[in-house]
Structure formats: structure tokens, C-alpha cells
């Protein structure tokens, strides 16, 4: 449990683990259909999908908005830019007005880089989805649907066109393996996503041809996340944090239910010992947003049920939302931006958490300083990201835990999934700067703990961060 300072060995171990974790399974292809506007958990769901792509588990192919909120697509695009995927296709619903909205999309689309324009400048979702599906292998895509069901009904009703000789229904049947839905309440109830477009909810449950997994109202309702974005300065440089900060501020809340995050998590990582699944049944809706799951009929429908304590699920989801974009991706600030001269003007602009050269723009924005080094525009290390750096690398039966301490008072503990402290690795006063600890898989009494999932929890500078690990023996 002492500090571990052999940095070369550390790097080798880290690369070896990355190679294993990246090479172990094919990433899950995802299309995200969301209602960017009324709520901020849609942003959390998209943040999780991006992070899963960063660690090799998912590949986001595109997304659509099921509201006509003018700033919805630009807010999605701002999140995509932040995670360094600025060219992901985005579609909108534009058949009739469905515009429940809140203030955060106006602010985030205004304050963070994006370039898709207002909703009326964005293609129809049906076109986007047909184009994606026409170009992927058979049985290779999962939909995550966390808003109103309007885009999905338009897709299955779409006729053959220049993108594909297949009808929408045929295309979905051929290319889609599974759909994970946030909608309804189980086994019966009434829920917002089915209510807002009740007719489409009925058609969707009746006609969608693939396996459907429902994450209902009751699964996400009391899993509160995003509270950490209310304090501190992260919202100035991170559009996920900004979305939560603005939404929570507008509605006077201290955290938000995690409906859409749970659907996104399940689509990529499955039940993961956090939830269980019902037996097969059949879900139907009425035109007023009510739904009922019948266990006696079978139509390839299943619903998720709670298993792990709410505090455990929230801690895991919060820690995933705090993951910053993959640092191993090429940094935008090292790119030459066409049309701008590098370096000699000394002008750099902040894009998300990185820098680009752009003449005539101030170098100092919020907490992130950009400056010229040689012929490149580079960023200073973001002090917020530095404080948040917290990594766990598994080496055989040991877990190597690295973090930057930004305040003297710290604790580092291992919890089981019931929240019980299994081992205390550190508690007390730490100098500021980088630290590494090893957990060798033993309890505080020195006995090896049984194999399974554990949570490594760091509290530093009043913030708590959690990594989930699997002890395999």
C-alpha cells in the first residue's frame, strides 16, 4: 500500500492494460435518439456514450433530436466537439412543433464551440438514420432512445429512397440488434416520454421489430447525479457541467434523476450487476402516455429492475460524467486551423478545453490559458482537470491508483457494492501533487477479499470520485 514511484514500469503496465481492455471486445455501435431541451439527463447520457467510445467500448454513429427546440442540435454538437468528435451526424424532428425546452440549451449552444446551426438548418432524422443504417453491417447497431418516439416511427414508416432500396422497417430489421428505451413505468404506469407524443408511443411499441429493453421511470427517478457540477468552475470549460449547472439553477434542484444515463450505460455495458432484467413480455401504451407490460404475451420486450443501492449507481454515473475526453487523442491545439496563421500573431482561442490559433482572439478565457510555444498554440494544463486526474490500473491482482492531490485532506477507500468500507488505503494529510497507491486486494485486516466488483473512492478537496474495478480472483 506504499507509494509507487517507478514511472517507467507504471507506463508499461498502463499501456499493457490499455491494450487488453481496448482489444477485448468489439465496440458497440450506437445511435442516440434524444430530446435535447426539456431535461439535462440527455446530456449526461451522451457524455457517457462519448466516454465509452474513449475507452474502446462504444462507437457513436450519429444522433437525432426528438424535439423542435431550435438550440437542441447545436447543444448536441457542442458536447460532440468537447469530446473531439465534431463531425458526428445530427438529425432533427421537424414534422410538427414539439418544443418543450429549458434555458440550458440556449446557454450551452451559445458558450461552447459548435457548427451545425439552428434546428431548421439540420437534416431530418429519418435521412440521417437511413444513411447510417444503409452503410453498416447487418445486425450491428443498437439504438438508445431517451426522448419522444417520433423519429423512430418516422424511420420505420420511411419508404425506399436513394439511400437504400429497403423500407425503414426492413432496414431496421436487417441492421439493428437491439433498442434500449427510456420510456414508460413498469410493470404499469404513466411517464413523460410516452405522454408527450402518445400516438407515436403506441405505434412504436406495436411495430418496432427488434428486441426492446425498457429502462422505466422508477429505475432512474431516485438515482441523483450531476450535483458536483453546481460548485467549482468546471462549468466554464465543460459543456456537460454547464448543462447541469444551468438546468439545476433554473429549476432550483440540487441533482437530477439519471433516466437517460442508465439507458446509455445499459446499451454499452449491460446489467453489470447494477440491475436485473424482467422475463420476456409485451409492452403496450395508450394515447395518454400510460403503459402496461404484460408478462403473458411475448414480443421480445424486457424491462430493467433496480438491484444495486441507489448511492452506488449515482457514484458510478457521476464518476463517468467527470471523465474528460481521452487525453491520448490528438489535441486540437496542435492542429493548424486552415485559414489562420500559426504562432507569430500570438493569438489563441479556447475550444472546449483545448486551444487553437485564431488571430485577434484573446488568449485568456475562463481558467484555461492558451499561449504560443514555438510554432504551436498550446494550452496550459487546466488546473481543474489536473485536480480531477484519478486513474486506476489493474496489474494482476493489484490495483495501482494514481491521482493529483489538490488539498491536504484526503481519503482513499475501497467499498463493496453495498457501500461498506472494505479497506482504507489512506486517510489524513497529503502534500499537494501526484500520488500513487496500491491496493493488493486485501481488507483492512489483511485478508484477501473475495472476487467481484469494488468501488475505489477518493475524496480530495471536498470532491468525491469513484472508480469501479473488478477483482477477478
Q: Between residues 191 and 318, which has the closer beta carbon with respect to Ca ion? A: 191
| Nearest to Ca ion of 42, 191 (CB atom) | 42
Site string for Ca ion, 221-260 (x = CB under 5 A): ---------------------------------------x
In the β-sheet with 390-395, what is the strand arrangement from edge to edge? Answer: 390-395, 398-405, 433-439
Q: Is 191 in the site for Ca ion (CB under 5 A)?
A: no
| Residues forming beta bridges with residue 423, ordered by sequence position | 414
CA angle (241 as vertex; 239, 53 as ends), nearest 5? 70
Q: Please give the Cα distance from 95 to 100 (Å, whole number).
A: 15
Nearer to Ca ion, 266 or 403 (CB): 266
Residue number, 181 or 260, with CB nearest to Ca ion: 260
Q: Are 275 and 245 in contact (CB under 8 A)?
A: no
| Nearer CB in complex with Ca ion: 42/178 | 42
Q: Out of 30, 144, 146, 368, which residue is the one contacting Ca ion (CB under 5 A)?
A: 146
Shortest distance in whole angstroms from residue 470 CB to Ca ion: 30
Which residue in this structure is represented by grid cell 491482482? 397
Cβ pair 317, 345 in contact under 8 A: no
**DSSP string covering 300-311:** SEEEEEE-S-HH
Residue 33 binds Ca ion, judged by CB under 5 A: no
| 42 binds Ca ion per the rule CB under 5 A | yes
Residue 446 three-state SS: coil
Does residue 35 belong to the site contacting Ca ion (CB under 5 A)? yes
The answer to whether 71 contacts Ca ion (rule: CB under 5 A) is no
Residue 146 or 401 having the CB closest to Ca ion: 146
Q: Residues touching Ca ion: how many (CB under 5 A)?
A: 5
CA angle 266, 267, 271 (to 5 degrees): 30
Q: What is the DSSP letter of 40?
A: S
- Whose CA is closest to 145, among 332, 326, 283? 283
CB of 42 to Ca ion, least distance (A): 4
In the complex, least distance from residue 100 CB atom to Ca ion, rounded to whole angstroms? 10
147 lies in the site for Ca ion, by CB under 5 A: yes
Quote the least distance from Cβ 441 to Ca ion, whole Å: 39
Binding site for Ca ion (CB under 5 A): 35, 42, 146-147, 260
Amino acid at each position: 500500500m506504499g507509494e509507487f514511484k517507478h514511472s517507467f514500469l507504471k507506463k508499461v503496465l498502463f499501456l499493457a492494460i490499455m491494450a487488453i481492455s481496448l482489444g477485448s471486445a468489439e465496440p458497440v455501435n450506437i445511435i442516440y435518439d434524444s430530446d435535447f431541451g426539456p431535461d439535462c439527463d440527455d446530456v449526461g447520457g451522451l457524455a457517457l456514450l462519448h466516454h465509452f467510445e474513449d475507452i474502446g467500448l462504444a462507437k457513436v454513429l450519429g444522433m437525432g433530436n426528438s424535439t423542435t427546440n431550435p438550440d437542441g442540435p447545436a447543444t448536441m454538437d457542442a458536447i460532440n466537439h468537447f469530446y473531439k468528435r465534431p463531425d458526428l451526424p445530427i438529425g432533427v424532428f421537424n414534422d410538427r412543433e414539439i418544443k418543450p425546452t429549458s434555458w440550458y440549451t440556449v446557454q450551452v449552444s451559445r458558450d461552447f464551440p459548435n457548427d451545425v446551426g439552428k434546428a431548421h438548418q439540420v437534416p431530418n432524422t429519418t435521412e440521417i438514420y437511413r444513411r447510417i443504417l444503409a452503410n453498416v453491417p447487418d445486425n450491428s447497431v443498437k439504438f438508445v432512445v431517451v426522448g419522444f418516439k417520433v423519429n423512430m416511427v418516422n424511420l420505420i414508416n420511411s419508404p425506399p429512397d436513394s439511400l437504400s432500396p429497403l423500407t425503414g422497417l426492413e432496414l431496421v430489421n436487417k441492421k439493428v440488434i437491439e433498442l434500449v428505451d427510456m420510456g414508460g413505468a413498469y410493470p404499469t404506469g404513466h411517464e413523460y416520454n410516452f405522454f408527450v407524443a402518445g400516438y407515436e408511443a403506441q405505434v412504436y411499441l406495436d411495430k418496432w421489430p427488434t428486441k426492446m429493453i425498457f429502462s422505466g421511470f422508477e429505475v432512474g427517478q431516485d438515482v441523483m447525479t450531476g450535483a458536483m457540477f453546481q460548485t467549482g468552475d468546471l462549468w466554464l470549460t465543460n459543456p456537460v457541467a454547464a448543462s447541469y449547472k444551468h438546468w439545476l439553477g433554473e429549476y432550483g434542484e440540487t441533482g437530477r434523476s439519471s433516466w437517460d444515463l442508465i439507458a446509455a450505460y445499459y446499451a454499452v455495458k449491460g446489467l453489470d450487476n447494477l440491475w436485473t432484467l424482467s422475463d420476456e413480455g409485451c409492452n403496450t401504451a395508450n394515447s395518454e402516455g400510460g403503459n402496461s407490460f404484460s408478462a403473458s404475451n411475448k414480443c421480445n420486450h424486457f424491462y430493467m429492475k433496480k438491484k444495486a443501492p441507489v448511492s452506488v449507481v449515482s457514484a458510478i454515473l457521476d464518476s463517468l460524467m467527470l471523465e474528460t475526453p481521452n487525453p491520448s487523442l490528438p489535441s486540437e491545439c496542435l492542429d493548424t486551423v486552415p485559414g489562420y496563421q500559426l504562432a507569430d500573431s500570438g493569438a489563441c482561442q479556447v475550444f472546449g478545453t483545448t486551444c487553437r490559433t485564431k488571430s485577434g482572439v484573446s488568449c485568456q478565457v475562463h481558467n484555461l490559458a492558451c499561449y504560443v510555444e514555438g510554432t504551436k498554440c498550446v494550452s496550459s494544463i487546466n488546473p481543474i482537470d489536473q485536480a480531477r486526474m484519478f486513474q486506476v490500473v489493474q496489474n494482476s491482482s493489484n490495483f495501482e491508483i494514481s491521482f493529483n492531490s489538490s488539498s491536504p485532506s484526503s481519503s482513499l477507500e475501497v467499498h463493496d457494492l453495498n457501500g461498506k468500507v472494505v479497506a482504507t488505503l489512506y486517510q489524513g494529510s497529503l502534500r499537494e501533487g501526484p500520488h500513487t497507491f496500491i491496493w493488493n486486494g486485501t481488507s483492512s485486516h489483511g485478508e484477501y477479499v473475495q472476487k467481484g466488483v469494488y468501488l475505489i473512492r477518493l475524496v480530495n478537496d471536498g470532491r468525491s470520485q469513484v472508480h469501479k474495478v473488478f477483482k477477478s480472483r
